Amino acid sequence: MARKVAKVLLPAGNGRDTGKTFVVTEWPARVGHSWASRAMFALANAGVTIPENLANAGFAGLAAMGIEALGKIPAHIGQPLLEELFQCVQIQPGTNPEIIRALVDDDVEEVITLFKLQKEVLALHVDFSTLAPQLTSESVGATA
């Protein structure tokens, strides 16, 4: 089975990035697992209690814990994790869907676009169908 791919077309209202198309491709399982594990370790080292039922849930567990929990990771550890997410992002620089290339710094002109792309990478990796059974009222209460 092929990795998941999402095309992200930025509509009007995205400033200088309006109309740009980005391609987000899922990491291989081993790479995604490594990233999610390092994020979980960073959370644990920051003193965040990780519910037992989410400890091995990878990206889905991170999603269940919420962005507030990720904000507790020290910047010097969290920033490299966020930067790694851009490994999943390419750009379709024109209208030909066959032409896709790696990002260069000048491809993104608005800071908010960077946040949107990181969110899209995380969303692509989170399988909410496997997340739902792992959530219990106890784990949800622990992250609220």
DSSP 2-40: PPPEEEEE--TTSGGGTT-EEEEEPPPHHHHHHHHHHHH
**Residue 76 and residue 60: Cα distance in Å, rounded?**
24
Taking only Cα atoms into account, the Rg of the chain, rounded to an integer number of angstroms, comes to: 16
Which residues are CB-contacts of 32 (< 8 A; sequence separation ≥ 6)?
Answer: 26, 58, 59, 125
**Residue 61 and residue 44: Cα distance in Å, rounded?**
13
Q: Along the 144 residues of the chain, how does pLDDT read in single tens digits?
A: 789 999 999 999 999 999 999 999 999 999 998 998 898 889 889 988 887 777 677 777 777 776 677 788 899 998 999 999 999 999 999 989 999 999 999 999 999 999 999 989 988 988 654 544 544 444 434 443
Pair of tokens at residue 10: 């930025």
Q: Determine the pLDDT at residue 99.
A: 96
Q: Determine the pLDDT at residue 84.
A: 95
**b/e map 70-106, b = 16+ CB within 10 Å:** beebeeeebeebbebbbebbbbbeeeeeeebeeeeee
| Residue (of 111, 49, 50) closest to 82 by Cα position | 111
Distance of CA 69 to the CA centre of its chain: 14
Distance of CA 90 to the CA centre of its chain: 14
